[in-house]
Amino acid sequence: MECENTEFESSSWRGSQGGKPKAWRPREGRKVLSPGMDAASRGDVEGMRCAIADEGWDPITDIDLFGSNALMWAAGGGFVRACDFLVNDVGMDVNATSRKDGRVPLHWAARNGALKACAWLVDH
């Protein structure tokens, strides 16, 4: 499998002043998501497979800066196929959380109105 080697940099929005938002500004050197996590956030199953095969990405242990895992990102985006891959092929626990607030993938799917993902998560 060949995958792109892409670097992901974050940007931050520094609120508003007088009702006018300031410009986004890059935060050099700070990665937002690993390539595998980015693929999960886009529902890209092939990208996740590449990250596992080519980069040794472990979706079960990888978390973002806020403690969210790949299944949370996939569920929040409503990507049922990605959720299925992460649970049935990779072995992620549907109810596992690494966040301090105790949220699970179902919370993110419901919060974002991803009803098909909610139904899939409840069934699994």
Q: Please indicate, yes or no, if residue 96 is contained in any of the structural domains.
A: yes
56 assigned to some structural domain: yes
- Measure the CA angle with vertex 79, ends 86 and 97; round to 5°: 50
Mean pLDDT by 10 residues, the chain (124 residues): 52 46 50 88 97 96 91 97 98 88 93 97 96
pLDDT score, position 5 = 54
Nearest to 43 by CA among 72, 74, 22, 75: 74
- Is the pTM above the cut of 0.85? no
The reply to whether 114 falls in a domain is: yes
pLDDT at 70: 96
Q: What is the pLDDT of residue 72?
A: 96
Residue 23, domain member (yes or no): no
Identify the CATH number of the domain in which residue 59 sits.
1.25.40.20
User: Other CB atoms closer than 10 Å to residue 73's CB: what's the count?
Assistant: 25
Which pair of tokens denotes residue 103?
A: 């949220």
What is the enclosing helix (H) or strand (E) of 117? helix 115-123
- How far apart, in Å, are the Cα atoms of 64 and each of 18, 30, 117? 32, 12, 21
Question: What range does the domain containing 72 cover?
Answer: 34-123
Q: How many domains does the chain have?
A: 1
Domain contains 9: no
Bridge-based pairing state of the strands 25-31 and 9-12: antiparallel
Compute the half-sphere exposure of residue 79: CA atoms within 13 Å on the CB side of its CA. Answer: 21
